[in-house]
A and B are shown apart, each in its own frame.
Chain A
Amino acid sequence: MVRLGAFLIGLFMAGWLLVSAGVTTYEMITEPAVETAEHRFHKHPKEVSFAHDGPFGKFDNAQLQRGFKVYTEVCAACHSLNQISFRNLADIGYSEDEVKAIAKAAQVPSINPETGEPATRPGIATDKLPSPYPNETAARAANNNALPPDLSLMTKARHDGPAYVFSLLTGYQKQPVELGKRFPDVAAGSGADPRDPKKPAGNLHYNPYFANLNISMAAPLSNGQVTFDDGSKNDVKAMAKDVAAFLTWTAEPKMTQRKSVGWAALIFLIIFTGLAFLSYRQVWAGKEH
């Protein structure tokens, strides 16, 4: 009974799946997939290497501090970093006094102790970095209804995150002509409408590293925009790399610690496994198996 029932069910399942496969094949032939603009023009992140790459990689504190400067002077105008407190900055090489000074220079939300009205006060080390906008509505109102995402976890929230941030920041470019010809709707978002050049250009910006090619954020970096105290290079590429490294740290501040503990665990386990193998050999000596 079991086998007869199974046979019939199996015949139905396999049969209907084969019928469905036939239908799928027919549909693939009659309605070939239409190539999308994303499929044609979207690019994978550029190749870029960082000091923290690989199993021995460590954060380069000087680079992280430069990245923090880029974040503060450029990104922080629109993007929050709400997982990070001022005290965390000690991890990237700032002294206690420097952390206190950085915190004090920032205004964090508070309440007026007399009236209870919303107010601000100078920050202290345990405060989180303040957000540029009080809430999502305010953020959208200031940015053409686009919401600048929080950047704390950005490098973990995208495939190949650090390279993605670097590529996005350095990837702004003119629309390819082909885009306007083949995908006028997409092209209209980030340029003049090829079907009606008199219409005002869309307020998006073409960037092939962004998922749907049109990003609300205008190219944020320009050469020489941020001056580094150590005189490091400050062209767009260098700044993009520094801020990508900094955002790798904000996403994973324990990365260096994780790797060093990993090596300790690995060495311990290799010794353990070696000893386990020797005792296995000794116990089984002379036993054919």
Chain B
Amino acid sequence: MSVAWANEYKPGGPLMQWVDERLPIPRLMYNAIGGGYEVPRNFNWMYNFGVLAGVALMIQIITGIVLAMHYFSSVDGAFNSVEHIMRDVNGGWFLRYAHMNGASFFFIVVYIHIFRGLYYGSYKAPREMVWLLGVVILLLMMATAFMGYVLPWGQMSFWGAQVITGFFSAIPVVGEPLRQWILGGFAPDQAALTRFFSLHYLMPFVILGVIILHVWALHIPGSGNPTGVPVKTKEDTLPFHPYYTTKDGVGLGVFLIIFVILTFFAPNFLGHPDNYIAANPLSTPAHIVPEWYFWPFYAILRAFTVDFLFIPAKLLGVLAMFGSIALLFFLPWLDTSPVRSGNYRPLFKKFFWFGLLPCIVVLGYCGVMPAEGPYILLGQLAAAYYFAHFLIILPIISRIEKTLPLPNSITEAVTGKPALAAA
């Protein structure tokens, strides 16, 4: 945030001065992620996950570029080329396992980042644009992850592609032609595989672009903080470097330790065994299950089992699944409470911890279980709560809730003493 007391960039030597005068990239970086960016002093560890998401994207891009050098996007060769990478490419097993688990870790940190935002009201004015761009990034990530999962051309790749592109055929009139246009055929085949590979390589760079916008939009008002109270004085902030670079360094270390444990010691824990069987269009797996990060959405899709008048249940399910993410775009205008942080919103807090979080966990569980009576029923109740939470409960809470008194400033919240000097 461009506060009056932010440090100004001073070139470290004649070379940097020469560069800075001609193309002020050093200055830009300094003001964005260096000593020139003033950040609230009271971030907790939940505020590490934005940086971690950026690191996860870089891991995916770097491992992905090298994997693409050895991967062969043909329906006859894709599966074997992945095994070639695993067996004969130097360090290929590491690249592939890191990329495979890296996708999961990207979602883990992004989901935590999102729930951090939900709890601390990070989506509220003046940071709506940051939130909207974040939802765009989530959608792009989902599309990228789906297409990436198709590339090894295993059984789950193929049947996942079949199911997910099948969503489009639920759209009235244009659905089936649209599905065929997307796939380039009647079923996933060479045309689909090649275009998914092309788009899977393109999309991460689109994500990177939107991340730059996301960070830019964040730097206009500056970062929020766990109290939700805006920055008022110099005491309230610290320069990003060295304070938060060191703190993010610790977070990064912990993140990488967990990432390494899974990648090296249980690399297939999050995967599905069926994807080690080459795709076979003539043999449908007993249970078609998406990757874990899609389970809650898969449960919402399957929760609609009854037609509504002329709308078939399948179409309702598809609309609800996309709607469950699309509603996040409206969140800044659904939650009208002037208090941002959940810490000062007793009622909101209860519904967050005992409503929303359990509801997501239950949806995830129902998404991975077979579509049988009790799991469908549980999924329907959780899905009903999910929509009610955002569309009905949150607006009502905002209106009726008696919020707790806010601290006068960030410094007061941290030290318990009023701020010394006014800005």
Q: Which residues of B contact A279 (CB under 8 A)?
A: 246, 249
Judging by beta carbons under 8 Å apart, are A153 and B277 in contact? yes
**In the complex, what's the smallest C-beta–C-beta distance from A218 to chain B, in angstroms?**
22
- B384 closest partner in A (C-beta): A17
A156 touches B246 (CB 8 A): no
Task: Collect the chain A residues with CB atoms within 8 Å of residue B380's CB.
Answer: 17-18, 20-21, 24
Within 8 A of A (CB), among B225-262: 238, 242-243, 246-247, 249-250, 252-254, 256-257, 260-261
Number of interface residues of B (CB under 8 A): 66
Which residues in window 118-132 of A have CB below 8 A to B?
Answer: none
List residues of chain A with CB within 8 A of the CB of B250: 273, 276-277, 280
User: Which of B265, B286, B334 contacts A3 (CB under 8 A)?
Assistant: B334
User: Which one, A4-12, A165-173, A232-240, is touching chain B?
Assistant: A4-12
Q: Which residue of chain B has its CB nearest to the CB of A251?
A: B276
Bound Cα distance from A3 to B394, whole angstroms: 10
- Select which of A18, A33, A258, A287 is within 8 A of B93 by beta carbon: A258
User: Does chain B have a CB within 8 A of A195?
Assistant: no
Chain A residues touching B, range: 35 or more
Cross-chain contact A266 with B305 (CB below 8 angstroms): no
A7 touches B395 (CB 8 A): yes
In the complex, the answer to whether B249 meets A276 with C-beta atoms within 8 Å is yes
B41 and A270 within 8 A (CB): no
Q: How far is the CB of B288 from chain A (nearest CB, A)?
A: 15
Asked if B268 lies at the interface with its beta carbon under 8 angstroms from chain A, I say: yes
B residues in contact with A23, CB < 8 Å = 305-306
Q: List, in ascending order, chain A residues with CB within 8 A of B80's CB.
A: 83
Closest chain-A Cβ to B2's Cβ sits at a distance in Å of: 22
Given the complex, which residues of B lie within 8 Å of A202, measured CB to CB? Answer: none
Q: Is the CB of B392 within 8 A of A7?
A: yes
A140 within 8 A of B: no
Complex interface residues of chain B between 386 and 423 (CB less than 8 A to chain A): 387-388, 390-392, 395, 414-415
**In the docked arrangement, what's the CA distance between A6 and B323, Å?**
11
A288–B334 CA distance with the chains assembled, in angstroms: 35
Beyond A20-B306, A83-B83, is A276–B253 a contact (Cβ under 8 Å)?
yes
Interchain CA distance A158-B285 in the complex, whole Å: 12
| B137 at the binding interface (Cβ < 8 Å) | no
In the bound complex, CA of A3 to CA of B335 (Å): 9
A58 → B minimal CB distance (Å): 14
Which residue numbers of B lie inside 8 Å of A, CB to CB?
41-43, 80, 83, 86-87, 93-94, 97, 238, 242-243, 246-247, 249-250, 252-254, 256-257, 260-261, 263-265, 267-268, 273-274, 276-277, 286, 303-306, 308, 313, 316, 320, 323, 327, 330, 333-334, 336, 372-374, 376-377, 380-381, 383-385, 387-388, 390-392, 395, 414-415
| A–B complex contacts, Cβ < 8 Å, 23 sampled | A3-B336, A6-B334, A13-B383, A13-B391, A17-B381, A17-B384, A18-B380, A20-B304, A20-B313, A21-B377, A25-B377, A27-B373, A28-B377, A83-B87, A88-B87, A157-B273, A157-B277, A253-B87, A270-B257, A272-B256, A276-B250, A284-B246, A287-B41
Chain A residues within 8 Å of B, Cβ to Cβ? 2-3, 6-7, 9-11, 13-21, 23-25, 27-28, 33, 55, 83, 88, 149, 152-153, 156-159, 161, 211, 251-254, 257-259, 261-263, 265-266, 269-270, 272-273, 276-277, 279-280, 283-284, 287-289
Instruction: Give the top 6 A-B pairs by smallest Cβ distance, nearest first.
Output: A10-B391, A262-B264, A273-B253, A17-B384, A13-B387, A276-B249
Q: A11-B392, A33-B373, A287-B41 are in contact. List 16 more A-B contacts (CB 8 A).
A: A9-B387, A13-B383, A16-B308, A17-B304, A18-B381, A156-B268, A156-B276, A157-B276, A157-B277, A261-B94, A261-B264, A262-B264, A269-B260, A273-B250, A276-B246, A279-B246
